Amino acid sequence: MLVYTLKRLFLALLVAMTVSAITFSLTYLAGDPAISMAGETASDADIEYIEKLYGFDRPIVVQYFEWALNAFRGDFGESYYFRIPVADLLLERLPVSMTLGVSAISFAILLSIPLGVLAAMRPNSLLDRLALGISVVGQAMPSFWFALVLIVMFAVWYPIFPTTGSETWVHFVLPTIVLGYYATPAIMRLTRTGMLEVLGSDYIRTARAKGLPQHVILFKHALRNAVIPVVSLAAVQFGFMLGGSIVIESIFALHGAGYLAWESIGRNDLPVVQAVVLVFSLFYIVLTFLSDLLNAWLDPRIRVG
Amino acid sequence: MSAVLEVSGLTVDIPVPSGDLHAVRGIDFSVDKGETLCIVGESGCGKSLTSLSIMGLLPKRAKVSADRMHFVGTDLLGMKERELAAIRGNRMAMIFQEPMTSLNPAYTIGNQLMEPLIRHKNASDKEARDRAIYLLERVGITAAASRLSQYPHQLSGGLRQRVMIAMALMCDPELIIADEPTTALDVTIQAQILHLLAELRKEFNSALILITHDLGVVARVADKVAVMYAGKIVEAGTVDEIFNQPLHPYTQGLINCIPVPGKTARGSRLGSIPGIVPTLIGDIKGCSFRNRCAFAHGECDTKDPFHTLSPGRGYRCTLDVPACEANAKELVSA
């Protein structure tokens, strides 16, 4: 297990370094940063001044290492637009994204895994059809439309939930449902398929031959094997939700980090874009690493050679 | 001797798109304490379904019915799933054909071995662990205590089948059903496992039903034999009766297929039974073996009588005993 963990960790570090290099190169992919900062009417002298001021005139490798080292220490530079440290901006916006992401993935898992298990227990039953219906609707319905429907129903007709803001947990209920529901179909279908396959396997027949009660067969013997692929999928979905759907953040006026990135792209505020991209990429890497560890714990064939 | 399992008129029907597949068509057998019954037949003759129906492990869509299916005096047919589950793995245990896939990859051998005892006998972890170690040693696994923390993928097929046997013995069952327990194993391991099964059957004095297609296995371990063909028992008797005086042409054909060292000439063709099993969808009128039988005649198209010669000894054919014995001689010389 230790060797496996170290191997995964090493891989994660390699990916993180690659990602950081690509993120840094964004500065130059989006055009000459000095020119875009100085503005269209700037003279050559102005541009040269800005190049010196921000260090754009130095070799690119030097710039990268300086940037990466600073980022490692939590210093992502200063926002061109807000003129405050990017780190402060992130600290303000990330909690919103985290809350939404965690609650949305929890909602998705709590809805889709039981549904998937129930559907697999009685394939082609009414319940299975219902679960299929829920997942097809979830897949087909645009989330902005679903968000509007929820707002109309639960904020306008029956004013239970607020429509905008991120002050209390109540503000997160509707966005959680919309974002979580978006991830439900894939997780549910994968759980159902996995359970169906596992329930038909020889070791489940053995468990039944041992006279074990239904709940032990389902949850001890079947589910553990069936959720192994689900773990990896849920980790990726979680990463996606942390980034937050920009659409959902805008509709509910949740000022999360995803929304910040989108705004900053429009403002050509590169330090912010880089920081958000880097932070979310690192989230993905950490999540993948954790899901690998969880899978190894679930499946001894990975853990014990 | 009291019967551990008594079955009569057992049928298993499986609905398929083109009708009902009558996989088992009314079979009778019984097995006593300390006795080994071998059910023999080729693939698809209904022998595995028979064993699964006794255990109540058939999928829900399969329809099982019987005139009588008594396990130590209690009727298995009227039982609810819950009551059956209390017997399964406890008083009645099963060993399967596929040792590679019959153990859960996610749990240790120890965890899976201890489960039935904890479940059925309310055993403590310590008691279950001790019993598991004892039985692993009994089935010939070395370093038994350290095996408990191993996972199935760390064991070979032969070892896994030994674990399955130990698991079946955990609650000291009155009946063990072994469905082709050696088919998936190497020949050398097969002999060991069979020997082990026979020995344990004696030691634990339980009844054993061994499902197999291999007459070599039958000759070695059986007390009683039931030969199945197309969902019916075509011949039943003690192992001596079956091998010394095979009456049904199918039994005769099966015995003929076994090469005998010294007797079967080098390079000569091994015996075989021509033709294939008829489809089991719908009814079969007359004898189901007649299209493969060298001795079929007009009567076989309509009649399919079972002759009981003595309790537990009988055969299914339109011909009488002398005629069947004459057929046997003719088959051997052919």
Distance, in angstroms, between B297 CA and closest chain A CA? 44
Q: Which residues of B touch A220 (CB under 8 A)?
A: 107
What length is written for chain B?
334
Q: What is the mean pLDDT of residues A166-195?
A: 89
Burial of A289-304, coded b for 16+ CB within 10 Å and e otherwise, reads bebbbbbbebbbeeee
**pLDDT value of position A57:** 77
Residue A243 φ/ψ region, left for φ over 0, alpha for ψ in the -120 to 50 degree band, beta for the rest: alpha
| pLDDT band, very low/low/confident/very high, at B334 (cuts 50, 70, 90) | low
**pLDDT value of position A305:** 65
In angstroms, the CA B154 to CA B141 distance is 14
Strands B207-212 and B175-179: parallel
Q: Which residues of A touch B167 (CB under 8 A)?
A: 206, 210
Q: Which residues of A touch B62 (CB under 8 A)?
A: none
Higher per-residue confidence, B119 vs B264: B119
Q: What is the mean pLDDT of residues A178-188?
A: 92
Percent of chain A with pLDDT over 70: 98
Across the interface, whether the CB atoms of A210 and B116 are under 8 A apart is answered yes
Q: What is the mean pLDDT of residues B157-179?
A: 92
DSSP assignment of B152-205, as one string?
GGGS-HHHHHHHHHHHHHTT--SEEEEESTTTTS-HHHHHHHHHHHHHHHHHHT
Q: What is the mean pLDDT of residues A26-53?
A: 75
Beta strands in chain B (DSSP E): 3-16, 19-32, 36-40, 63-65, 68-71, 74-75, 92-95, 175-179, 207-212, 224-229, 232-238, 306-310, 313-316
**pLDDT value of position B323:** 87
pLDDT higher than threshold 60 for residue B333: yes
**Across the interface, which of B89, B96, B153 has its CB nearest the CB of A211?**
B89
DSSP assignment of A53-112, as one string?
HHTTTS-HHHHHHHHHHHHHTT---B-TTT-SBHHHHHHHHHHHHHHHHHHHHHHHHHHH
Distance, in angstroms, between A182 CA and closest chain B CA? 31
Segment B209-226, tens digit of pLDDT: 999 988 888 988 899 999
Q: Which residues of A touch B57 (CB under 8 A)?
A: 205, 208-209
Q: Which residues of A touch B98 (CB under 8 A)?
A: 202
Q: Which residues of A touch B87 (CB under 8 A)?
A: 211
Q: What is the mean pLDDT of residues A94-99?
A: 88
**pLDDT value of position B315:** 93
Q: What is the mean pLDDT of residues A192-215?
A: 93
**pLDDT value of position B51:** 92
**Across the interface, which of A203, A209, A211 has its CB nearest the CB of B104?**
A203
| pLDDT band, very low/low/confident/very high, at A195 (cuts 50, 70, 90) | very high
Average pLDDT, chain A: 87
Q: What is the mean pLDDT of residues B184-189?
A: 82
Across the interface, whether the CB atoms of A212 and B94 are under 8 A apart is answered no
Distance, in angstroms, between A285 CA and closest chain B CA? 26
In angstroms, the CA B58 to CA B51 distance is 9
pLDDT higher than threshold 80 for residue A33: no
pLDDT higher than threshold 90 for residue B203: no
In angstroms, the CA B119 to CA A223 distance is 20
Beta-bridge partner residues of B306: B316
- In eight-state DSSP terms, residue B287 is -
Chain B interface residues facing chain A, Cβ-Cβ under 8 Å? Answer: 55, 57, 84-90, 93-94, 96, 98, 101-108, 115-116, 119-120, 151, 153-154, 164, 167
Distance, in angstroms, between B94 CA and closest chain A CA? 7
Distance, in angstroms, between A292 CA and closest chain B CA? 16
Residue of B61, B83, B115, B164 to mutate, testing the A interface (most A Cβ within 10 Å of its Cβ): B115
Chain A interface residues facing chain B, Cβ-Cβ under 8 Å? Answer: 201-203, 205-213, 216, 220-221, 224-225, 298-301, 304
Across the interface, whether the CB atoms of A209 and B55 are under 8 A apart is answered yes
Q: What is the mean pLDDT of residues B144-157?
A: 92
Percent of chain B with pLDDT over 90: 50
**pLDDT value of position B262:** 74
Contacts 24+ apart (CB under 8 A), A67-72: A67/A24, A67/A274, A68/A20, A68/A24, A71/A20, A71/A275, A71/A278
**pLDDT value of position B54:** 92
pLDDT higher than threshold 60 for residue A150: yes
What length is written for chain A?
305
**Across the interface, which of B88, B98, B107 has its CB nearest the CB of A210?**
B88
Distance, in angstroms, between A139 CA and closest chain B CA? 32
Higher per-residue confidence, B74 vs B270: B74
Q: Which residues of A touch B115 (CB under 8 A)?
A: 210, 212
- Do A245 and A258 meet the contact criterion of CB atoms below 8 Å apart? yes
In angstroms, the CA B153 to CA A304 distance is 9
| pLDDT band, very low/low/confident/very high, at A156 (cuts 50, 70, 90) | confident
Q: What is the mean pLDDT of residues B183-207?
A: 85
**pLDDT value of position A244:** 65
Q: How many CB pairs under 8 A join A and B?
A: 77
**Across the interface, which of A202, A209, A299 has its CB nearest the CB of B89?**
A209
pLDDT higher than threshold 90 for residue A56: no
pLDDT higher than threshold 60 for residue A284: yes
Across the interface, whether the CB atoms of A205 and B89 are under 8 A apart is answered no
Q: What is the mean pLDDT of residues B96-103?
A: 90
Strands B92-95 and B68-71: unpaired
In angstroms, the CA A191 to CA A251 distance is 31
Looking at this protein, which amino acid is placed at residue A143?
A: S
Distance, in angstroms, between A5 CA and closest chain B CA? 19
Three-state secondary structure of A260-288: HHHHHHHCCCHHHHHHHHHHHHHHHHHHH
- Do A96 and A254 meet the contact criterion of CB atoms below 8 Å apart? yes
**pLDDT value of position A30:** 64
Residues 6+ apart with CB under 8 A from B95: B161, B164, B165, B168, B176, B177, B178, B179, B181
Across the interface, whether the CB atoms of A211 and B116 are under 8 A apart is answered yes
Distance, in angstroms, between B3 CA and closest chain A CA? 22
Three-class secondary structure of residue B14 per DSSP: strand
Q: What is the mean pLDDT of residues B273-290?
A: 84
**Across the interface, which of A209, A224, A225 has its CB nearest the CB of B57?**
A209
Helix axes A228-243, A170-199, angle to 10 degrees: 160
Q: Which residues of A touch B164 (CB under 8 A)?
A: 206
Q: Which residues of A touch B153 (CB under 8 A)?
A: 300-301, 304
Residue of A203, A231, A294, A301 to mutate, testing the B interface (most B Cβ within 10 Å of its Cβ): A203
Highest-confidence segment of A31-40, A43-52, B239-248, B267-276? B239-248
Tokens 């998705």 label which residue?
Answer: A108
Strands B207-212 and B36-40: parallel
Segment A64-93, tens digit of pLDDT: 888 888 888 888 888 888 888 988 988 988
Across the interface, whether the CB atoms of A207 and B120 are under 8 A apart is answered no
Distance, in angstroms, between A128 CA and closest chain B CA? 17
Residues A157, A161, A166, A172, CA torsion sign: negative
| pLDDT band, very low/low/confident/very high, at B140 (cuts 50, 70, 90) | confident
Average pLDDT, chain B: 89
The residue of chain B with its CA nearest to that of A227 is: B106
In angstroms, the CA B92 to CA B83 distance is 12
Percent of chain A with pLDDT over 90: 34
**C-alpha torsion angle, residues A112, A114, A117, A119 (rounded to 10):** -70
What would you report as the CA-atom Rg of chain B, rounded to the nearest whole angstrom? 21
- Do B18 and B144 meet the contact criterion of CB atoms below 8 Å apart? no
Across the interface, whether the CB atoms of A210 and B167 are under 8 A apart is answered yes
| pLDDT band, very low/low/confident/very high, at B233 (cuts 50, 70, 90) | very high
- Do B211 and B205 meet the contact criterion of CB atoms below 8 Å apart? no
In angstroms, the CA A234 to CA A188 distance is 10
Which among B57, B111, B68, B118 is positioned nearest to B90, based on CA atoms? B118
Across the interface, whether the CB atoms of B105 and A221 are under 8 A apart is answered no
pLDDT higher than threshold 60 for residue B1: no
pLDDT higher than threshold 70 for residue A247: yes
| pLDDT band, very low/low/confident/very high, at A290 (cuts 50, 70, 90) | very high
Segment B235-276, tens digit of pLDDT: 999 999 999 999 999 999 888 888 777 777 777 777 778 788
Burial (CB count <10 Å: 0-12, 13-18, 19+), residue B55: buried
